[in-house]
Structure 1
Amino acid sequence: MSTPTAKSPRPHRRPKKDPARMLAFTALRAVDERDAYANLILPSLLRKAEKNEGFERRDAAFATELVYGTLRMRGSYDAIIGACIDRPLSKVDANVLDVLSLGAHQLLGTRIPAHAAVSATVELARVVLGDGRAKFVNAVMRKISTQDLDTWLQQVAPPYEEDAEDHLAVMHSHPRWVVAALWDSLGVWQPEHCGRTAMSELLAADNARPAVTLVARPGRSTAQELRDSLPAEDTAPGRWSPYAVQLVEGGEPGLVEAVRENRAGVQDEGSQLVASALAAAPLEGRDGLWLDACAGPGGKAALLAALASQRAAVLVASESQPHRAALVAKALDGNPGPYAVITADGLHPAWRPGAFDRVLVDVPCSGLGALRRRPESRWRRRPEDVAHFGPLQRGLLTSAIEATRPGGVVGYATCSPHLAETRTVVQDVLRGRDDLEWIDARPLLPGVPGLGEGPDVQLWPHLHGTDAMYLALLRRKG
């Protein structure tokens, strides 16, 4: 009779590193630990990874989707993860939570089969967390995989009838205070269309991947040239701006010769409309000297410079931060007409009062109008940030007015629809002054619907497909 032998333990297998998932995890940690912006850190990580043998274009696309998708839906995923664990999220290690968020996105926001998403996430956990915590990740991932996203959201979101703002915040992955602020603004600008459906559409638009839009700089390139540079199926005409060309998925700006030569660039259509409206605003008298008072990083300045050159006008582009002024100079490089880029603080002008015929002041703001492009911003901003920007915005607008000659035009713009950063700022600055006339900006955005009752305008991602840009135009009385 033979003696039974003990079963040999399974040999330890070293976890495999998936390059795309590792890169996505590294990017999320940089966003969390160093307050990095995904649109800045991700390109540098991708450039470094592309030098490695075996890292392919599809890996770069997958890593990009993981990072942006996870950041956009982090609020919803946190609620779902919280329902699958026996402790508060605040007690979960940040590294573990990032791995779980990446895994949740693969399960709930992509077409990756559930077994593959669970397996790959556990493998990532083994690499970056160790085998012990990988078991916890495995258990949570298996719970998440039992239901799809819609079912989970209906389960974890409070009923709409009990708390409408909190319901929408969980369903559409926005902080509650942001939902409230956007709803207040939408109620002012679209009072007949600001109910539950419209708010859901607005928040969903914030979570949609924005189209890449090119701008043809007048006198240097045309929209048709940009479209002819790529296969017809890779482009579509802009919706509102005559200078715009949209790239459908797969279109590469770097393949367009005019972009490589700086005769065109990448710019949201809302920004193009702001610059072109200021250039088209009627004024009294001469029209030879323009100012972009907050020019960094240079997109609007480049379009304004091109438009100014066609009228023999000169643009002065001012930026207070030297590194951003360098970006402005790069954006304007090659402009056929004269221009100047200076490093100067708009609150302490380097120019004499009344020097300019047209002035654009695109003020620093909370950025709530560009959440599609910077999804991490929604989790960093706080209500007090809006109040913090207020004095700066009022000061910059006042300075821009003083820089404008009688008969000239000032454009106040901001990439935020928050009322405290838009109309309220303009009303506060105008209060007690009788030397300014509020110009109706709507006719200067021809063909664009849903601009409200004027005279200022607010663009919306769900209505116009643009960032939520605001514009007010003021003429200084002569």
Structure 2
Amino acid sequence: MPADRVRGAAYDVLTAVREQDAYTNLVLPPLLRARQITGRDAAFATELVSGTIRRQGLYDAVLAANVDRPLAKVDPGVLDALRLGTHQLLAMRVPTHAAVGTTVDLVRRKVGHRPSGFANAVLRKVARHDLDGWVRRVAPDPGSDPLGYAEVAHAHPRWVVEALAESLGDRRDELDALLAADNDAPRVTLVARPGLATVDELVAAGGTASRQSRYAVTLPGGDPAAVPAVAEGRAGVQDEGSQLVATALADAALDGTDARWLDTCAGPGGKAALLAALATERGGLLLAAELQHHRAVLVRSAVPRVVTVDGTRPAWRSGTFDRVMVDAPCSGLGALRRRPEARWRKQAADVDGLVPLQETLLDRALDAARPGGVVAYVTCSPVLAETRGVVAAVLARRDDVRLDDAAPLLPGVTDAAGPLPGTVQLWPHRHGTDAMFLALLRRH
């Protein structure tokens, strides 16, 4: 049988993610280009890798029910191949004989001949039931343990399920829909950077204009770099939620000057690029600040004024800026569909360590704003400790800040009330965006 280079590429990405803590979105695209895998083959490889990693918890439960030893005793390379095969059997339109045969061949080529028979036997057992059938067999009873059922059925760690359920508040009945949305591949969304590209231009290239962000266009598929405006840096790939929080900051009412804008945590540069374009249209300038130099270099490709500096120890005078963005480092639980490996790497303790940093960054951002200036506090996480908790704590200790109502600044968005009055919480299952949180605070 000839070597299957598409599945081989997917296997190599899984190996890099497991052995090197690599990120799928950073490893896969250059690997596909290097091996000249394009079109439908590239789409197949992308779904195979991302889908396998997203549902790894469920697939491991299925595999554990079909092997005669703990999964920890299975060769890691064989286990990677079995996960790829299981995803093809249970979640992709791949015939059983093709999914089993190509996976066995993959094991033979990548690991060795001896374990190929084991892989064949395991996958033939997996093929006896469909995805729903296996969920009924390996997940806890939803009636007696609904969170345990969600943990297995939707392949999210238990602590993540609990945190997201809490974030939904009195809408906890939407938990299954939210977790299911995390397992769907996100749409490819472009941003037409004002003054550089137009929505009409991107629509003419095959996209569809959005009703939520006035700069967003979604693509049906393909390589975004093939769009001329993207290749030339006049447009970019950016989640619509990121566009919405940036435009909300830009649209907030302001008395007095409107020339000096700041992004205190600018890397990798998507929001900064949009804000810089909006500021330029008004005759203003954006200063982009980023702690990590390699990320600052990424920002510099789209924003002319970039400094490498720690946002908790500012290099600028207080009261300097008219508009300030603080897109704080967070747990990233609102972007799990985009970062498939993140759910398996994060721990609940990570949130506890991030909250003091988030509070400090917001405090320093407020210091940077002039009286009357506005600050957008943004996270790609809906976790209450990182959203409501941070904003409430900062407001409680400052008498020079008030919370503005951000909802009117997003007229195309509905059903997005945040956990504090006036804040905004976007959701994958409601809005088709990452779960971005936005609070607008004004210095007075």
Query: Please, what TM-score do these two structures have when normalized by structure 2?
Result: 0.97
Partner in structure 2 of residue 211 of structure 1? 187
327, 332, 355: which one pairs with 1:390? 355
> Does the 8 Å contact 1:283/1:475 carry over to 2?
no
Letter in 2 for 1:367: G
Letter in 1 for 2:56: R
SS in structure 2 at match of 1:58: helix
Unaligned 5+ residue runs, structure 1?
Answer: 1-14, 333-338
Partner in structure 2 of residue 168 of structure 1? 150
Partner in structure 2 of residue 11 of structure 1? none
Q: Aligned partners of 2:296 and 2:57: how far apart in 1?
A: 35
CA-to-aligned-CA distance 1:327-369 (integer Å, 9 cap, x gap): 111022xxxxxx5111111011111111101100001111111
56, 63, 70: which one pairs with 2:45? 63
> Does the 8 Å contact 1:16/1:127 carry over to 2?
no
**Distance change in 2, residues 1:407/1:56 (3 Å):** closer
171, 183, 196: which one pairs with 1:220? 196
State whether structure 2 residue 240 is matched by structure 1 residue 269. yes
- State the Cα distance separating 1:320 from its structure 2 match: 1.1
Which one is further off, 437-446 or 86-95? 86-95
Q: Aligned partners of 1:229 and 1:111: how far apart in 2?
A: 29
Q: Aligned partners of 2:120 and 2:186: how far apart in 1?
A: 33
Letter in 1 for 2:260: L
Partner in structure 1 of residue 32 of structure 2? 46
State whether structure 2 residue 424 is matched by structure 1 residue 461. no
CA-to-aligned-CA distance 1:214-241 (integer Å, 9 cap, x gap): 11111222111111133xxxx2211300
Letter in 2 for 1:368: L
SS in structure 2 at match of 1:390: helix
Which one is further off, 241-250 or 351-360? 241-250
212, 218, 242: which one pairs with 1:246? 218
Q: Aligned partners of 1:229 and 1:107: how far apart in 2?
A: 35
Letter in 1 for 2:68: D
Q: Aligned partners of 1:293 and 1:245: how far apart in 2?
A: 27
> Does the 8 Å contact 2:261/2:286 carry over to 1?
yes
Q: Aligned partners of 1:91 and 1:389: how far apart in 2?
A: 35
Identity %: 58
SS in structure 1 at match of 2:124: helix
Q: Aligned partners of 2:26 and 2:210: how far apart in 1?
A: 26
RMSD: 1.3
Q: Aligned partners of 2:176 and 2:294: how far apart in 1?
A: 38
Partner in structure 2 of residue 356 of structure 1? 321
SS in structure 2 at match of 1:331: coil
Q: Aligned partners of 1:226 and 1:372: how far apart in 2?
A: 24
> Does the 8 Å contact 1:19/1:59 carry over to 2?
no
SS in structure 1 at match of 2:115: helix
SS in structure 2 at match of 1:97: helix
> Does the 8 Å contact 2:213/2:412 carry over to 1?
no
- State the Cα distance separating 1:172 from its structure 2 match: 0.8
- State the Cα distance separating 1:56 from its structure 2 match: 5.2
- State the Cα distance separating 1:254 from its structure 2 match: 2.0
Unaligned 5+ residue runs, structure 2?
Answer: none
Which one is further off, 288-297 or 217-226? 217-226
> Does the 8 Å contact 2:211/2:412 carry over to 1?
no
> Does the 8 Å contact 2:395/2:402 carry over to 1?
no
Q: Aligned partners of 2:161 and 2:96: how far apart in 1?
A: 31
Letter in 2 for 1:242: R
Partner in structure 1 of residue 172 of structure 2? 194
- State the Cα distance separating 1:450 from its structure 2 match: 0.8
State whether structure 2 residue 418 is matched by structure 1 residue 440. no
CA-to-aligned-CA distance 1:412-465 (integer Å, 9 cap, x gap): 001011111111011111112111010010001112111226311110000000
**Distance change in 2, residues 1:446/1:424 (3 Å):** same
Partner in structure 1 of residue 9 of structure 2? 23
State whether structure 2 residue 126 is matched by structure 1 residue 152. no
CA-to-aligned-CA distance 1:158-182 (integer Å, 9 cap, x gap): 1011211110111111111111100
Letter in 1 for 2:442: R
- State the Cα distance separating 1:256 from its structure 2 match: 2.1
The structure with the larger Rg is 1
Q: Aligned partners of 2:72 and 2:357: how far apart in 1?
A: 34
CA-to-aligned-CA distance 1:186-224 (integer Å, 9 cap, x gap): 11xxx2x321xx111111110111000011111222111
Aligned length: 442
